[in-house]
Structure 1
Amino acid sequence: MEAWYMDDSNEDQRLPHKLDPNVPVTLEELQKIGVFHWKLNADIYETDPELQKIRDERGYSYMDIITIHPDKLPSYEEKLKMFFEEHLHLDDEIRYILEGRAYFDVRDKEDRWIRIAMSKGDMITLPAGIYHRFTLDETNYTKAMRLFVGEPVWKAYNRPADDFEIRQKYVNSLAA
Structure 2
Amino acid sequence: MADKTSECTKKQCDDKCNHFGKPNPKNGWYLRDTIVNRYEENKTEPPEYLTDEQIYLETEAIISWVDLGNSDDKTEIEKRIRAVRNMPVSVEVECDIDKEKDEKALDEKADKFFAHHFHPGEVMRVVTEGSGYFDVKDLNNRWIRRPLSKGDIYIISSGCYHRVCLDTKKKMKAVMLHYDKKGLEQKFWPESETDPMHVQYIERMKCLRRSLNFQYKSRPGSVDCDKTLNRP
TM-score tier by shorter-chain length is 0.7 to 0.9
Sequence identity percentage: 25
User: Structure 1 residue 10 and structure 2 residue 41: aligned?
Assistant: no
Cross-structure match for 1:170: 201
Q: Aligned with 1:37: secondary structure?
A: strand
With normalisation by structure 2, the TM-score equals: 0.67
With normalisation by structure 1, the TM-score equals: 0.87
Cross-structure match for 1:38: 64
User: Structure 1 residue 51 and structure 2 residue 77: aligned?
Assistant: no
Query: Larger Rg: 1 or 2?
Result: 2
Cross-structure match for 2:210: none
Change (3 A) 1:125 1:8: same
Q: CA deviation at 1:65?
A: 2.3
Counterpart residue identity of residue 99, structure 2: K
Cross-structure match for 1:70: 97
| Greater Cα offset, 76-85 or 151-160 | 151-160
Q: Aligned with 1:129: secondary structure?
A: coil
User: Structure 1 residue 157 and structure 2 residue 187: aligned?
Assistant: yes
Unaligned runs of 5+ in 2: 1-25, 208-232
- Output the aligned Cα RMSD: 2.2
Q: CA deviation at 1:31?
A: 1.6
Of 101, 116, 125, which aligns to 2:146? 116
User: Which one scores higher on RCO, CA 8 angstroms, separation ≥ 6?
Assistant: 1
Deviations 1:123-157 (A, max 9, x none): 11111111122110000001111111122643322
- Alignment partners' CA distance in 2, 1:77 and 1:98: 21
Alpha-carbon contact 2:68-2:77 (below 8 Å) kept: no
The structure richer in strand per residue is 1
User: Structure 1 residue 94 and structure 2 residue 124: aligned?
Assistant: yes
